[in-house]
Amino acid sequence: MFYFRTRSLSAWLQNLLTSGYIISIMDTMIFIMSTILSIAFHEFGHAIAAASEGVEIEYVAIFVAVLFPGAFVALNYDQLQNLPLFSMLRIYCAGIWHNVMLCAVCVLMTLLLPVVLYPLYVSGDGLMVTGIPQTSPLSEYLSAHDVILSVDGLKITRTDEWIKILNQGTTTKSSSSEFLEGSQRYVATSSGKGYCVPDSWMDASKNLWQIRNELPCPDELIAFEKDTCNGSAISTEKTGRGSGSKEVEEKYCLIAKDVIKLRKCGNGWKRTEDDESSCACLEDEYCLVPVLTPGFSWIEVSYSKPYSLGCLQKGGNLSSSSHAANNDLGQNPCDGSFVYVGNLLSAAHSVRVSPYRPRWAFLLFIADIPYILENGLSSLLHASGALAVVNCLPVYFLDGEAILETSLSYGTWFSRRQQRNILKLCRFVWTVLSIIFLCHNTIVWIRIAN
């Protein structure tokens, strides 16, 4: 699998490290520590159960299987076999039981985390950026300790909302090869996110088209076209540069940071129930939607810089910034807004965000603690839960094998030979299924990383 699709391991790692996905040392340490703690708690359960039954512990071993750490507790085999079946089963199930209890503790601590962090941290008014690499497509707009307030006008307060909104806004990539030499394909977004643009802006854009005498807009401008306000996609294909003045006039090159200050129109905006905005514009305005290439999407992000020098000097706060209108953006040193056009999936995972932010600026040196606690508990919950599920399976060298063997000895329906045959069959089948499942998920993960 290291050479999956004829790509070497070094090429795969290079692609992973240079991608927009953020894999920091902090995240790696959280994953490693949660895995080690789950394994240690599992084996501690076996040791406690064995000691309570009077079974001698001979030694404790630690090993590494490929890239995953592991451990086991070696018990006195003769003393273990002389125990009643229920006592043996209790020892074998102790590790799984301790992992389940650890999961319950993680859930309880996660529910109590807002109460514990309340004296020093604020939550519920946005997502604070705790880390953003230079390779992130959002690094030119956001920086560390900025607070993301809303996406497409929707206020976000949880990390899962940030991922969900950006995933839902991702457009389907075109499967046909339209980008041929001498041709250009424009595909308007099917989301129907439009803006009421005045006639004067559109006239100025037409003059720009006539001056440039070519189809693509300059780098600092975005192409727009008229929307019928029904949310349907508009697709126009032109071959060559002389495609006719009528088709050219349907496109308008506008500055995105100026357009987002205008009134919104179209059915693609995710609005609240009390929002009475419609897709109708004034008589001297037209509803224009951005024209995007396949696989690209358009989102409007509002953010705040509560810890910047200008905002601190003004004494600004997020409670007022979160309700600020778009027409005043740029005048307030605490507020900002930008439009991102690109792959939303990579952008969503390239930024490390947290729903908690320090109450005071002098606490910024501990701004990462809520992220560490929140993600540490989540990682510990998943690692401990996965370890409990895996050890329930009757697979070679795992607890499930001994649990199944002891459980079969309880019943009187099968002879000793039948019990051995059932054990061998279940052990073989579940081991093969586990290997297939592991290989399948590894290949899927490599595909996503590439």
Query: Residue 390 domain-assigned?
Result: yes
Q: Is residue 431 part of a domain?
A: yes
pLDDT attached to residue 108: 96
List strand residue ranges (DSSP E) for 175-245, in order: 183-188, 194-198, 222-226, 235-239
- Residue 43 is a catalytic residue: yes
Q: Are residues 27 and 153 in the same domain?
A: no
Same domain for 74 and 129, yes or no, is no
The per-residue pLDDT for 127 is 92
* pLDDT (0 to 100) of residue 182: 36
Domain count, the chain: 2
Same domain for 351 and 407:
no
Together in a domain, 24 and 43: yes
The number of residues making up the chain comes to 450
- Give me the residues of the chain with pLDDT under 50, please: 1-9, 11-21, 171-190, 213, 230-248, 319-330
* 327 located within any domain: no
Whether residues 129 and 254 share a domain: the answer is yes
Residue of 43, 225, 401, 405 marked catalytic: 43
Answer yes or no: is 243 within a domain.
Answer: no
pTM given for the model: 0.71
Spatial neighbors of 55 by CB under 8 A, at least 6 apart, are 75, 76, 79, 80, 83, 91
Mind listing the pLDDT tens digit for each residue in 390-445? 999 998 888 988 898 888 887 777 788 888 888 889 889 988 998 898 888 778 77
Residues paired with residue 43 on neighbouring β-strands, in sequence order: none
In whole angstroms, how large is the CA radius of gyration of the chain? 29
pLDDT at 320: 45
28-55 residues labelled b (16+ CB within 10 A) or e (exposed): eebbeebbebbbebbbbbbbebbeebeb
pLDDT score at 105: 96
pLDDT of res. 217: 73
Q: CA-CA distance, 408 to 411, in Å (whole number)? A: 6
pLDDT score recorded for residue 189? 47
Q: Which residues constitute the domain of residue 418? A: 9-118+375-449
Q: How far is CA 362 from CA 45, 357, 367, in A?
A: 43, 12, 10
Residues 348 and 213 in one domain: yes
> What does the pLDDT read at residue 323?
44
Asked if residue 160 and residue 31 are part of one domain, the reply reads: no
